[in-house]
Structure 1
């Protein structure tokens, strides 16, 4: 590794599995001191132990980001404490994906999904961004989704929350960018850790794309490293599609 994040500190929410875990591991491999956040202490310890075994620096911070201001502010304080007083990079990754159609979605589910996917990162950013400004700069990376811009007949509730996060990315870039905090987003395609011999239903969603297959969490993590580092110092307010071409191109067989 090139240690592109050497000397930086980072908080990654939802970092105990899948994309969040891959981002935390990639940041640590590039030299960052990482706060791994999630609900499960057992899974968090597994991620942290793995990072440390490879020579990286990581701490687990347990948090249930339910949308409440108190939970977001508590995570911001504890992450800064375990990271030595500051958070240079924030990755708003934690989220939930409910199944079901619009008609089948009840009010309780609607409120919970918006609380976790939008309200929690909103107030976490509100708690961390001012400290980044005071420290002289930082980077915030939000996780969007390809279905925020390409409609599918299921997942309307989830896709709308990711659309909200992409809009917040642009608004926060305008709000915090002039004060030294870069805000960008990544829009993953269908991503899943491959299991040998297992057929995954999401695979069909990538047929007819340039990649013609699902992506892996590492692909998203590589994009996050770029957006967190100095190589992207002139990048503000973008949504970086890492989706195998799902939203931009169709491959038509001759």
Structure 2
């Protein structure tokens, strides 16, 4: 018996990295997971991984750059899930490193479209069925940089801060109607321990209480908790999973 038996979860941006780890973990807890992303090949690989482990999963392609994309994904997910999505994880996001002076309108629009517009309209599209049942969980993926200044990432930081504020607003708006809305703020995370940048990421936070960067599984554990009934009394919070960086000193600089 898993914590999420009988439930369906849609995880955006789940063809790699944190999203993939979240999808695999929720499936391990018994959820039927709708894997979503732009790359069909990688998405189908995640589906196979889940199915090979005895879980249930399907793939729905999505870009999430427009409200139309978000609504189309909602329709596809509901079709794959027999009309019921119990858990939405708004994980998809983009992070083009750019200075404010070098920022152009196209980059601005892309970051805000994917990181904010997509979650807003996907949530809007799935809320009616959740409200009809009086039950649902929404988890937004924020970031530690939403709470500190970050050189080269001011726009990304602002988009994640917006998502965390939407978390509080949605919790206020829909909590009394059975919908729990929370966020996770990952710290410096290593997706691939063998990748060249892994050592650099560990050095970025070597003076933190944890002493090293986090794993994608650390974020997946947090998502499984917030999605489950164990977090039934948790509303409108941002669960910081950063090894203690924000609680003990200013955020690390990228170099």
Q: TM-score, normalised by structure 2?
A: 0.95
What's the CA shift string for 1:90-121, capped at 9, x where partnerless? 00000000112111111110011000000010
Q: Runs in 1 of length 4+ with deviation above 6 angstroms?
A: none
Aligned to 2:204: 205
Consecutive unaligned residues in structure 2, runs of 5 or more: 251-255
Q: Is the 8 A contact 2:175 2:235 kept in 1?
A: yes
Tell me the secondary structure at the aligned position of residue 208 of structure 2.
Answer: coil
Count of matched residue positions in the alignment of Structure 1 and Structure 2: 249
**1:152–1:54 distance in 2 versus 1, CA, 3 Å:** same
**1:211–1:157 distance in 2 versus 1, CA, 3 Å:** same
Aligned to 2:64: 65
Q: Is the 8 A contact 2:115 2:160 kept in 1?
A: yes
Aligned to 1:43: 42
Q: Is the 8 A contact 1:141 1:186 kept in 2?
A: yes
2:53 is the alignment partner of 1:77: no
Tell me the secondary structure at the aligned position of residue 234 of structure 1.
Answer: coil
Aligned to 2:51: 52
CA displacement at 1:199 relative to structure 2: 4.8
Q: Aligned match of 2:146 in 145, 148, 162?
A: 148
Q: Is the 8 A contact 1:69 1:120 kept in 2?
A: yes
For residues 210-249 of structure 1, the aligned pairs below 5 Å read 210-249=209-248
Q: How far apart, in 1, do the equivalents of 2:207 and 2:148 lie? A: 14
Consecutive unaligned residues in structure 1, runs of 5 or more: none
Q: How far apart, in 2, do the equivalents of 1:249 and 1:133 lie? A: 39
**1:197–1:15 distance in 2 versus 1, CA, 3 Å:** closer
Aligned to 1:101: 99
Q: How far apart, in 2, do the equivalents of 1:157 and 1:182 lie? A: 28
**1:199–1:136 distance in 2 versus 1, CA, 3 Å:** closer
Aligned to 1:18: 17
Task: Say what the alpha-carbon RMSD is for the aligned residues.
Answer: 1.3
2:3 is the alignment partner of 1:4: yes
CA displacement at 1:207 relative to structure 2: 2.3
Q: Is the 8 A contact 1:129 1:176 kept in 2?
A: no
What's the CA shift string for 1:223-250, capped at 9, x where partnerless? 0000000000010000000000111014
CA displacement at 1:197 relative to structure 2: 7.6
